[in-house]
């Protein structure tokens, strides 16, 4: 594990009421009395960075010994699926695995929603290695790599993430009840619990009926019966696809079912007589994998990276064929990677299989149309990931007061469509978390949502509105927003370019917390005012002068004209300023769900989206 350096270290836990707990850490010895509610707490004196150390705790004849304890800096990484997104499914997975060090450790909090604050957290610490890092948050791990290599102290990441969660779930009940604008969220939820058990029972009955009528059952491996797994099968008429790619992106629609992939490769001479390993990364959802017609492995489940041993007797000199059948029931289907490869079991060279494969549908199941009955939605209630305060009670409250250096946050997708309320919720959450850690200026750095989906009509740009709402937190001290507008993917809500996101968050930490290195932030607007014949917009973090990334005219800028319509516009770039000509009523930049623009600062970082009404 990692304990915080240079501060009085809180050590806390559970015990038998009235008993004594003794803590030993190096030369430090102390005792704490377990309170009537079954909790105990004490503080160790500040310790310098380093280790490994041993932490011992004794009570009632029992002893708990924690070895390999490092002292350094601990950061809490929280939010929804893009913060949760694992290293193994990021585009930079191979680089991260090469750079990871035991000086970086991660504690993954078990996902839990609770109706009241929990006293105990569930999860485990793991030490950084090429094998353990695959399941860590790619953003948080990238952040830790950048910080650790500069600051050179052990870095701990506490990962408390849950895909699909709204910000309301991460907020304490009192933080919403004390705010007149937010209190209705709690009141409406509490009122909805009346008759909840009856509604839950009715839902279960209706969903059982729906599943019985609509269940997507694997019809059986028909492709195997047709010889699709055999080496000599002629797949010349099959389509081609570049992998890894979810098949929804290939089909262009939401489909499920069974799909086959085949790839021909020549066995390297150095692998002759040796076993190899077929690594597929992640698959959505179940796979059956064959080499030269022999089944080498099969796995059921989405979040399980595949690696199958292929014995030397299976391989042939010359051409060999890998054939993989994937069955998917929901969500992204196909070979998702990010790394598909063959590796020598003796640690030698590997063969990259992120390339073109042959593919053919065995069976396609279309989802219900808009007119057809959809699967009943479970009623909101206790234990739901989006129950107000649920994730806070189950995953954040029991962490307090663990000594943390700061907080990293990547969330907002689940609140798209409710931007005005998010602008109230977000600052309230930050203020409340800081109060509970008793640090009014606890560093809080967060990611502004990337581009996603079709370009969209600006008047319906809900993602743009949410990005604007995220800026509301910048009025609080010691906050930093890392725009990721240029790192999105129109086809998926989970863009896989995570390393740069982590770097941008690390830029805030290195500059504003550690006072090291050269600041490198995305430019943001600091002022806008009307002057004679134009509007002057001033940016911070231009680092000399703004420019266009491609050297062409500025794109992505619009002005609000007298008739109330927005129109494309140009502007003059004067170092860290834009001069927009005309008597316009407003200016906006990158105002769409998935916009395109080319304005950057001197170091190539994109200008954050903005909207100015005058």
User: Using CA atoms, how far apart are residues 282 and 89, in angstroms rounded to an integer?
Assistant: 7
Sheet holding 566-568, edge to edge: 566-568, 557-560, 586-589, 610-613
pTM of the model: 0.83
Q: What is the DSSP letter of 423?
A: H
User: Using CA atoms, how far apart are residues 43 and 405, in angstroms rounded to an integer?
Assistant: 17
**Residue 106 burial (CB count, 10 A):** 25
Average pLDDT, stretch 575-579? Answer: 94
E-strand ranges in 285-329 read 286-291, 294-299, 306-310, 319-328
**pLDDT at residue 252 tops 70:** no
**pLDDT at residue 303 tops 70:** no
Average pLDDT, stretch 259-269? Answer: 94
Phi first, then psi: give them for residue 64, nearest 5 degrees. Answer: -115, 125
Average pLDDT, stretch 362-378? Answer: 73
User: Using CA atoms, how far apart are residues 239 and 224, in angstroms rounded to an integer?
Assistant: 18
* Residue 482 binned pLDDT confidence (cut-offs 50, 70, 90): very high
User: Using CA atoms, how far apart are residues 560 and 568, in angstroms rounded to an integer?
Assistant: 9
User: Using CA atoms, how far apart are residues 93 and 145, in angstroms rounded to an integer?
Assistant: 13
Average pLDDT, stretch 402-416? Answer: 96
**pLDDT at residue 369 tops 80:** no
Both structure tokens of 64: 């708990």
**pLDDT at residue 96 tops 60:** yes
Domain with CATH 2.60.40 in the chain: 524-613
**pLDDT at residue 606 tops 80:** yes
Average pLDDT, stretch 552-577? Answer: 92
**Residue 368 burial (CB count, 10 A):** 12
User: Using CA atoms, how far apart are residues 385 and 560, in angstroms rounded to an integer?
Assistant: 41
% of residues, the chain, pLDDT over 70:
97
Question: End-to-end distance of the chain based on CA atoms, in angstroms?
Answer: 52
* Residue 457 binned pLDDT confidence (cut-offs 50, 70, 90): low
Query: What's the sign of the alpha-carbon dihedral 420, 424, 425, 430?
Result: positive
The whole-number pLDDT of residue 251 equals 60
The whole-number pLDDT of residue 473 equals 95
- Asked if 315 and 276 touch (Cβ cutoff 8 Å), the reply is yes
The whole-number pLDDT of residue 58 equals 96
Peptide bond into 338 cis (omega under 30): yes
Average pLDDT, stretch 594-613? Answer: 93
Query: Which of 225-239, 246-260, 338-352 holds the top average pLDDT?
Result: 225-239
User: Using CA atoms, how far apart are residues 27 and 406, in angstroms rounded to an integer?
Assistant: 28
Angle between helices 419-436 and 462-470 (to 10 degrees): 30
* Segment 153-173, tens digit of pLDDT: 999 999 999 999 999 999 999
DSSP string for 255-271: -EEEEEEEEEEEPPGGG
- Asked if 525 and 537 touch (Cβ cutoff 8 Å), the reply is yes
Say if domain 227-365 classifies as CATH 2.60.120.260.
yes
**pLDDT at residue 316 tops 70:** yes
Strand partners, 538: 527, 577
Place of tokens 């992106």: 249
351: exposed, middle or buried (Cβ count in 10 Å: 0-12, 13-18, 19+): middle
Place of tokens 């380093």: 50
**pLDDT at residue 370 tops 60:** no
**pLDDT at residue 396 tops 70:** yes
Place of tokens 């600006």: 458
* Segment 8-43, tens digit of pLDDT: 999 999 999 999 999 999 999 999 999 999 999 999
User: Using CA atoms, how far apart are residues 448 and 484, in angstroms rounded to an integer?
Assistant: 6
- Asked if 604 and 522 touch (Cβ cutoff 8 Å), the reply is no
Query: What's the sign of the alpha-carbon dihedral 347, 350, 354, 357?
Result: negative
The whole-number pLDDT of residue 339 equals 81
Domain 71-179+384-513: which CATH number of 1.10.10.10, 3.40.30.10, 3.40.50.1110, 3.30.56.10: 3.40.50.1110
* Segment 495-551, tens digit of pLDDT: 889 999 999 999 999 999 999 978 889 999 999 999 888 999 999 999 989 999 998
Do strands 572-574 and 104-109 pair parallel, antiparallel, or not at all (unpaired)? unpaired
% of residues, the chain, pLDDT over 90:
76
Mean pLDDT is lowest, of 56-65, 139-148, 239-248, 572-581, for: 239-248
Domain with CATH 3.40.50.1110 in the chain: 71-179+384-513
The whole-number pLDDT of residue 368 equals 63
Domain with CATH 2.60.120.260 in the chain: 227-365
User: Using CA atoms, how far apart are residues 479 and 159, in angstroms rounded to an integer?
Assistant: 19
Say if domain 524-613 classifies as CATH 2.60.40.
yes
């Amino acid at each position: 594990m990692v304990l915080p350096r240079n501060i009085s270290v809180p050590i806390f836990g559970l015990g038998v009421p009235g008993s004594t707990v003794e803590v030993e850490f190096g030369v430090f010895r102390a005792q704490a009395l377990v309170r009537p509610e079954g909790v105990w707490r004490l503080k160790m004196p500040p310790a310098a960075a380093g280790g490994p150390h041993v932490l011992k705790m004794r009570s009632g004849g029992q002893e708990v010994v924690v070895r390999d304890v490092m002292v350094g800096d601990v950061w809490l990484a929280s939010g929804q699926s893009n913060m949760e997104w694992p290293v193994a499914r990021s585009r930079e997975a191979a680089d991260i695995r090469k750079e990871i060090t035991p000086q970086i450790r991660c504690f993954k909090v078990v996902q839990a929603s609770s109706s009241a604050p929990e006293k105990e957290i569930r999860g485990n610490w793991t030490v950084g290695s090429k094998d353990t890092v695959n399941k860590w948050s790619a953003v948080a791990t990238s952040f830790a790599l950048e910080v650790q290599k500069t600051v050179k102290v052990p870095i701990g990441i506490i990962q408390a993430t849950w895909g699909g969660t709204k910000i309301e779930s991460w907020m304490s009940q009192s933080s919403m009840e004390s705010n007149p604008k937010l209190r209705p969220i709690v009141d409406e939820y509490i009122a909805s619990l009346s008759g909840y058990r009856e509604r839950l029972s009715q839902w279960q009955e209706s969903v059982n009926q729906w599943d019985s009528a609509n269940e997507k059952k694997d019809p059986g491996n028909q492709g195997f019966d047709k010889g699709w797994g055999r080496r000599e099968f002629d797949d010349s008429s099959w389509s081609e696809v570049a992998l890894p790619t979810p098949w929804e992106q290939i089909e262009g629609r939401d489909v499920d079912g069974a799909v086959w992939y085949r790839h021909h490769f020549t066995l390297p001479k150095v692998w002759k007589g040796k076993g190899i390993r077929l690594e597929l990364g992640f698959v959505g959802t179940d796979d059956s994998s064959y080499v030269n017609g022999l089944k080498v492995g099969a796995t059921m489940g989405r979040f399980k990276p595949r690696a199958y041993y292929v014995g030397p007797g299976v391989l042939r000199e010359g051409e060999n064929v890998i054939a993989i059948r994937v069955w998917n029931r929901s969500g992204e289907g196909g070979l998702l990677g990010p790394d598909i490869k063959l590796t020598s079991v003796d640690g030698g060279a590997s063969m990259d299989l992120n390339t073109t494969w042959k593919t053919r549908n065995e069976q396609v199941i279309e989802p219900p149309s808009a007119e057809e009955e959809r699967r009943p939605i479970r009623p909101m209630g206790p234990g739901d990931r989006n129950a107000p305060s649920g994730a806070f009670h189950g995953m954040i409250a029991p962490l307090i007061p663990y000594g943390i250096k700061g907080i990293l946050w990547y969330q907002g997708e689940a609140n798209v469509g409710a931007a005005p309320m998010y602008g109230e919720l977000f600052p309230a959450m930050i203020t409340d978390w800081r109060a509970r850690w008793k640090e009014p200026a606890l560093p809080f750095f967060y990611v502004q949502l990337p581009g996603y989906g079709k370009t969209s009509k600006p008047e319906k740009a809900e993602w743009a509105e949410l990005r604007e709402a995220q800026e509301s937190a910048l009025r609080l001290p010691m906050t930093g927003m890392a725009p990721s507008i240029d790192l999105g993917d129109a086809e998926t809500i989970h863009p896989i370019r995570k390393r740069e996101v982590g770097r941008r968050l690390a830029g805030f930490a290195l500059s504003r917390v550690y006072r090291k290195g050269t600041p490198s932030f995305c430019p943001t607007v600091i002022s806008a005012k009307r002057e004679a014949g134009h509007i002057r917009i001033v940016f911070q973090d231009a680092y000399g002068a703004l420019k266009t990334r491609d050297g062409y005219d500025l794109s992505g800028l619009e002005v609000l004209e007298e008739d109330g319509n927005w129109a494309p516009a140009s502007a003059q770039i004067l170092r860290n300023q834009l001069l927009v000509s005309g008597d316009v009523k407003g200016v906006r930049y990158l105002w769409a769900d998935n916009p395109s623009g080319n304005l950057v600062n001197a170091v190539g970082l994109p200008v954050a989206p903005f909207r100015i009404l005058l």
